[in-house]
Chains A and B, each alone.
Chain A
Amino acid sequence: MPVLWLILIVLALAVAGFIAGRLRVTSAGAERPHSLPNYYGWNVAMKVMAPAFLALVVWLLVQPMLVDRQVTAGLGEGAVPEGSTLGLVMSDVRRVAGGLDTAVSRGLITAGDADAMSAADSDVRSLLGEAGVALGSDVSPEVLEAAQDYRAMNSAGNFWRSAVVILLAVGGLVWGVAQSNRDFRARNAVETGIRMILLAAASIAILTTIGIVLSLVGNTWNFFQVYPASKFFGSFTWSPSFGGGSELGIWPLLWGTLYISFIALVVAVPIGLFAAVYLSEYAGPKMRAWAKPLLEVLAGIPTIVYGLFALLTVGPLLLTVFGRDGLGWMQAGTAVMTAGLVMGIMLIPFVSSLSDDIINAVPQSLRDGSYGLGATQSETIKQVILPAALPGIVGAVLLAASRAIGETMIVVFGAGAAARLSLNPFDAMTTVTAKIVSQLTGDADFASPEALVAFALGMTLFIITLGLNVFALYIVRKYREQYE
């Protein structure tokens, strides 16, 4: 039974349960029930849906894993031909099984034929071709057998799935309806249920973090199985080649990342900070009203736009000044300077709005005290406000740094593709994020170190940005406590 039907059946049972539960308390007697009638209905509907859907979700997640494991175990050693991997064979098995399903549903063969078919006496490949599944090579007997096993296990699994889910739903219905009498505190039951749902929604944040950590750690572990960690952290060259024999040292990428981020901060911090100071200390309400939103437009522009801006506007512009026709420092439009400059522009509103908040949080009494001693406005800012706001500003700069390190599109377009350790800001360099993109896009299989290295890079990136964020939030929080 398809999942959609199963869901519809459970929903129908829930509606029936809602009506039944409601009717049972409203139908007879003059005595008022504990809760409003709808709560009795919801109580039953909840008891129908919650266990059934929970079971369905768990089943949908677990069954493919179990079936895969069983079939993989059944394949044995001999089924994997030379030059192939178990993963590729398994994907063949899945395709054959899927093709058989399509063939049966189109009426090309009967379900019995599909189970009894053997590779020796029927042309499976042409049959599947007819069903719209193109295979690269003939189907080996082992694969066909595994595919038949796969189908058998899946159909058994699907049968039990439907049975268990419907049974749970009916059980919930019976239980809920039996509960529905006047003394039952239906509102409390429903509200506990809603609370559970709210808690589950809040826990998705934790699940996401766990998901990120698991997907990074698992694949990074796989990477270190095929490529030594000592070389990853110890080598100063980055030269991946998908043919094998690649050298995957992280340092050139880290250097490029940090260099570009540094230039971005050199651009963004002074401009952002001075803009924030001016807006919060000097500007009148009118100027604030238009200058602040306009600056923040820069923050709302997607990074792909900045990427294109770097590639097609800033790069060529820098090239005319510093390139061969000008000063001769720059070889091509893509360079650390290009990416850093554009990233700096992107970060200006980030720095300025964070600093603005922090400067505004400095108590007015500090300013008044300083003015009372005869200081000018700029002296007050330089000697009183900025020192008082310093921890917060440092936090803002760290957050901006973490943003710069994790930025992808600008460096993909603006920084170039060559990984090198160089001091010249007009050289093309590359970054961790750009290399994650280039190693994972395309049809690389996830077993080669050249693809897996992206996860190790992602892990490094995650740890660096997480560290910066935690540190920055700690500083900001600590500072906030001073004035509250």
Chain B
Amino acid sequence: MTDATSQGAARPRTSLTAADKRTQRRNAAEKRFRLYGLAAIGAGMFFLVVLLSSIIGNGIGAFQQTFIEVPVYLDPAKLDKNGNRDPAEMAKVSTFGYNPLIQDSLYQLVQDKGIATEYEDGGDMKALISASAAAQLRDRVLANPDLVGETVEFEILAASRVDGYLKDRVTRDSITEDKNIDAGHLDLVDALLEDGTVHKSFNLAFITGSDASESRPEQAGLGVSMLGSLFMMLVVLFLALPIGVAASIYLEEFAPQNKFTDFIEVNISNLAAVPSIVFGILGLAAFIQFAHLPQSAPLVGGLTLTLMTLPTIVISTRASLKAVPPSIRDAALGVGASKMQSVFHHVLPLAMPGILTGTIIGLAQALGETAPLLLIGMVGYIATNYPDGIISGFMSPNSAMPAQIYEWAKRADPAYYERAWGGIIILLVFLLVMNVIAIVLRRKFERRW
């Protein structure tokens, strides 16, 4: 006893209300650890915010485009020498015949407004005008030959540098070495901007238009490649959904426990983790090298993406089949249904919302996938024309949304970078809509057993 009390006297006195050093240290460690966790989540959120703001900040400009409003006098002496307004005859005048008209009209407009400028004729002002303006005017005239001889108000697409100037992408410092545009042009733009001749407006052509050549970013649009993506997604939907559902039904409901079934399951789980570029190699070797399907065709892209999304769809379909309670199957079998009838009449309809959710998510994944498309030739192809029918939509070369974005990003031109970011916004809007549909489907039809 005396020993014990003498030892007790040596021990420091502790209080339950005031934490001692050791407890303080442990509590501090606890706090620190919590903070690390919060910091990690904060870092994730921070990256998300940076990513999204960089997408929106850089891409929103692509939805606005600069136009110059010019009254163009369509000179009959140049466009229709014979004067009989025959479109076939007028088609002989190429865009070179229209260029001077537009340039002179612009010069005239500048003169009329009394804007002082160092330029002496329309040819000096062509830096303001997109190279595609003449073709657009020509299309309009050929569609309506009676316009010849009149003065029409024409919204000319401004050149990409003028567009960039209005969007602060091009500055007076940055053009000192630029051969395509001078400071004088920018003065002119400033003056025209003031009286509203030059203005920015919503750029529908970016959403519906087709790709343009490397030197005309102001004309490029995503419309044709959107169609390419649509045809690809149709292939994926009509192949991956039935095949995936059939495979899952077999594995979940009918497969006997044997080596072969195990082999299929191992294959599926491995395929789900195979890098997407390997599927590109498969598509190249199997569909193009071996089966001689046309390169760059949405059909080939769709087939390749089908093989890639199948494991995803199988995995989610099996999960939703598994979620249907066995009592449903037992009840069906109990009233005399065959195994097949119980699955197709009862289990499958109950699992359908889950299956659809999984399929939509798989489709969204396929829609954004780029790497396999690079290998089957969906880049490098300039998608300038809309497909002229359903069959050519599947079979003739096209691009796809992510491939088009890749193509634009590769062109290493700030104006095309803006298009690429804008394309990403459109792509993300599609993905967002698909995911929201999936979530709504799940919320609405999800059943808790």
Q: Chain B's interface: helix, strand, loop or mixed, by majority? A: helix
Does B374 touch A at the CB level, under 8 Å? yes
| B308 nearest in chain A by CB position | A208
B282 to A212, Cβ gap below 8 A?
yes
> Which of A407, A454, A466 makes the CB contact (< 8 A) with B274?
A466
Known interface pairs A270-B40, A440-B284. Does A409 touch B406 (Cβ–Cβ under 8 Å)?
A: yes
Which chain B residues border A88 with CB–CB below 8 Å? none
User: What per-residue 1/0 map shows which CB atoms of A461-481 lie under 8 Å from chain B?
Assistant: 110011001100100000000
> Which of B249, B275, B291 makes the CB contact (< 8 A) with A461?
B275
Known interface pairs A191-B338, A198-B250. Does A433 touch B44 (Cβ–Cβ under 8 Å)?
A: no
Q: How far is the CA of A461 from the CA of B379 in the complex (A)?
A: 23
Which chain A residues border B277 with CB–CB below 8 Å? 406, 408, 433, 436-437, 458, 461
Known interface pairs A270-B40, A461-B277. Does A205 touch B370 (Cβ–Cβ under 8 Å)?
A: no
Q: How far is the CA of A235 from the CA of B273 in the complex (A)?
A: 30
Does B34 touch A at the CB level, under 8 Å? yes
User: What per-residue 1/0 map shows which CB atoms of A201-215 lie under 8 Å from chain B?
Assistant: 111111011011011
> Which of A195, A202, A291 makes the CB contact (< 8 A) with B264?
A202
Does B98 touch A at the CB level, under 8 Å? no
Which chain B residues border A462 with CB–CB below 8 Å? 274-275, 278
Which chain A residues border B355 with CB–CB below 8 Å? none
Does B314 touch A at the CB level, under 8 Å? yes
Q: How far is the CA of A304 from the CA of B307 in the complex (A)?
A: 20
Q: How far is the CA of A274 from the CA of B36 in the complex (A)?
A: 7
Mark out the residues of chain B between 41 and 58 whose CB falls within 8 Å of any chain A CB in the assembled complex: 41, 43-45, 47-48, 50-51, 54-55, 58
Q: Chain A's interface: helix, strand, loop or mixed, by majority? A: helix
Does B109 touch A at the CB level, under 8 Å? no
Which chain A residues border B289 with CB–CB below 8 Å? 215, 446
> Which of A199, A211, A312, A409 makes the CB contact (< 8 A) with B286?
A211
> Which of B54, B254, B314 makes the CB contact (< 8 A) with A198?
B254
Mark out the residues of chain A between 420 and 451 whose CB falls within 8 Å of any chain B CB in the assembled complex: 433, 436-437, 440-442, 446
Q: How far is the CA of A466 from the CA of B274 in the complex (A)?
A: 7
| B58 nearest in chain A by CB position | A312
> Which of A202, A313, A352 makes the CB contact (< 8 A) with B247?
A202
Known interface pairs A440-B375, A441-B379. Does A212 touch B409 (Cβ–Cβ under 8 Å)?
A: no
Query: 21 A-B contacts, Cβ less than 8 Å apart?
Result: A199-B254, A201-B244, A202-B250, A202-B255, A205-B268, A209-B271, A216-B281, A216-B285, A273-B40, A274-B39, A278-B36, A295-B48, A301-B428, A304-B368, A304-B402, A313-B54, A313-B58, A348-B44, A378-B30, A409-B370, A465-B278
For the A-B complex with A200-B246, A274-B40 known, give 8 more contacts whose Cβ atoms are closer than 8 Å.
A208-B267, A215-B281, A294-B44, A348-B44, A409-B371, A458-B277, A466-B274, A473-B269
Chain A positions near chain B (C-beta within 8 angstroms): 61, 64, 187, 191, 194-195, 197-206, 208-209, 211-212, 214-216, 218-219, 270-275, 277-279, 281-282, 291, 294-295, 297-298, 300-309, 311-313, 345, 348-349, 352, 376-379, 381-382, 399, 402-403, 405-409, 413, 433, 436-437, 440-442, 446, 454-455, 458, 461-462, 465-466, 469-470, 473
Q: Which 9 A-B pairs have the closest CB atoms?
A: A406-B275, A278-B37, A302-B368, A215-B285, A274-B40, A201-B246, A378-B33, A198-B250, A408-B371
Chain B positions near chain A (C-beta within 8 angstroms): 26-27, 29-30, 32-34, 36-41, 43-45, 47-48, 50-51, 54-55, 58, 242-244, 246-247, 249-251, 254-255, 263-264, 267-271, 273-279, 281-282, 284-286, 289-292, 307, 310-311, 314, 338-340, 364, 367-371, 374-375, 377, 379-380, 402, 405-406, 409, 417, 420-421, 424, 427-428, 431, 435
